[in-house]
Homo-oligomer: A and B are copies of this chain.
Amino acid sequence: MKIDPRHLEILAAIVDGGGLTEGAEAIGRAQPSVSRTIAMLEARIGAPLFEKSRRPLVPTELCIALAGEGRRILAAGNTASAIVTTFRTGHRGMVRIGGTPVFMDGVISTLIAEFQQNRQIRIEQCYGYAQDLMDKLDAGTLDVAICPMNPAAVSSRFQFVPVLPGRNVIACGSHHPLLRKGSLRLADIAPYPWIAPPASSPLYDDMRHILRDIGVTDTRISFSGGTLASITAILANSEALTVLPYSVVFMARRQRIVSALSIRIGHPERMLGILTKDPESDNPTVRRFRRFIDTEFRNLSRFIQQHEQNILWRD
């Protein structure tokens, strides 16, 4: 005998409320409605649920047992409602994000940890470069991409919200001898080996341009192919140099492991930004994540600007 779970809910409400009227109110219905529902339930079960002709309604043993189950159903329904609410307010759910490796490791991961505070949100992260990320957004396997792009060159199928200029710096270990030098010249830099980003990454191109600009010719590559963790470790324990996004070095400044050389280098025409396919159709969690990233980056941008004013950039 299958019983409608809503009927059990009503039963629980009546037993707990102490009467038909209270139960009806508790569950948001009119009294006659629940009265008839109970009558039908009794007919189906074939046994009375309340003692007849008693005014403060007295539940049967059977009724009390069933009301117990009804209470469970009520509880499950409430938590289900809560789940939906937390989901709709973006406090629960999943966000699939992708971005360039160094940037995800060096900046985004820190923000993610903060975003997950007080929320039950799962982040599925993947790494990739611009084209890759756009393909995934198209395929619907990614909600948000965070990557450097030329805002003018973004397809109209995507929304691109720029948040930071895509500036790079020459990074080194915080113990590096060049940091103690007053002014840097080509001859000073030339002797040191370089860590190369992956050949397919934009950073790699950036580095090539920078080296050409400052006149370094035969670059000695001492390490390549590592993610940020490896790069940081190498920088910390050698005198190698590399090119990293300023924001990454900025975020890492707290650990006092890596620093940036005070040398002005040309920076690309790209902006770091949030790339999405159809911002309106995203679920609340994704929206909230985008908003969060956006505001955090604007804060970061301000910090970086303040920081830059305290540094003398030399040629």
> Which residues of chain B come closer than 8 Å to A70, judged between CB atoms?
76, 80
Interface residues of A (CB under 8 A from B): 1-6, 8-9, 28, 45-48, 61-62, 65-66, 69-70, 72-73, 75-77, 79-81, 83-85, 87-88, 92-94, 122, 283-284
Expressed in whole angstroms, the minimum distance between the Cβ of A188 and any Cβ of chain B is 54
**Which one of B1, B8, B76, B93 contacts A8 once the chains associate, using CB atoms below 8 Å?**
B76
Query: In the bound complex, do residue A93 and residue B62 qualify as a contact, i.e. CB atoms below 8 Å apart?
Result: yes
Q: Is the interface of A mostly helix, strand, loop or mixed?
A: helix
Most chain B CB within a 10 A radius of its CB, from A3, A47, A69: A69
Expressed in whole angstroms, the minimum distance between the Cβ of A23 and any Cβ of chain B is 16
Expressed in whole angstroms, the minimum distance between the Cβ of A29 and any Cβ of chain B is 11
**Which one of B83, B122, B284 contacts A69 once the chains associate, using CB atoms below 8 Å?**
B83
A5-B76, A5-B77 given. 6 additional CB < 8 A pairs?
A3-B77, A8-B80, A47-B284, A62-B83, A69-B77, A72-B75
> Which residues of chain B come closer than 8 Å to A75, judged between CB atoms?
72
**Which one of B1, B28, B84, B283 contacts A81 once the chains associate, using CB atoms below 8 Å?**
B1
